[in-house]
Amino acid sequence: MPEDIDASLKRWSLDTLPIIPDKFQTKPIERVKKRFNELKRLIQRDDIKLLISGRDVSREDELIFAYIYELAKCKNLSYADTHPQ
């Protein structure tokens, strides 16, 4: 939402358009936030070194997985794709 970028954009008008942030930020949808936090907790365990993506073969599923990987801050975690290109 625009107000996530800048609080002053909570109430926008045609004068403030287009709203193009310097960096697009992602966040979990409110209704699945609890599920995401549980997944994040599991991913960040010390004994987890590899994350295997068992998703469907589609751009949307690949993007969802990439967002989860990024939001969970998986910097030192490798992942294997079950559907390599």
Task: Give per-residue pLDDT as tens, 1-25.
Answer: 777 777 777 777 788 788 777 887 8
30 inside domain? yes
5 inside domain? no
The residues near 19 (Cβ < 8 Å, ≥ 6 apart) are 2, 5, 9, 12
Please give the model's pTM, rounded to 2 decimal places: 0.64
Separation of alpha carbons 79 and 52, rounded Å: 5
34 inside domain? yes
Is-cis flag, bond preceding 21, omega within 30? no
Name the helix (H) or strand (E) containing 63.
helix 59-71
16 inside domain? no
**Total tally of structural domains belonging to the chain:** 1
Range of the domain at 35: 26-81
59 inside domain? yes
Residues of the chain predicted below pLDDT 70: 75-85
Which pLDDT score, from 0 to 100, does residue 38 have?
A: 95
53 inside domain? yes
7 inside domain? no
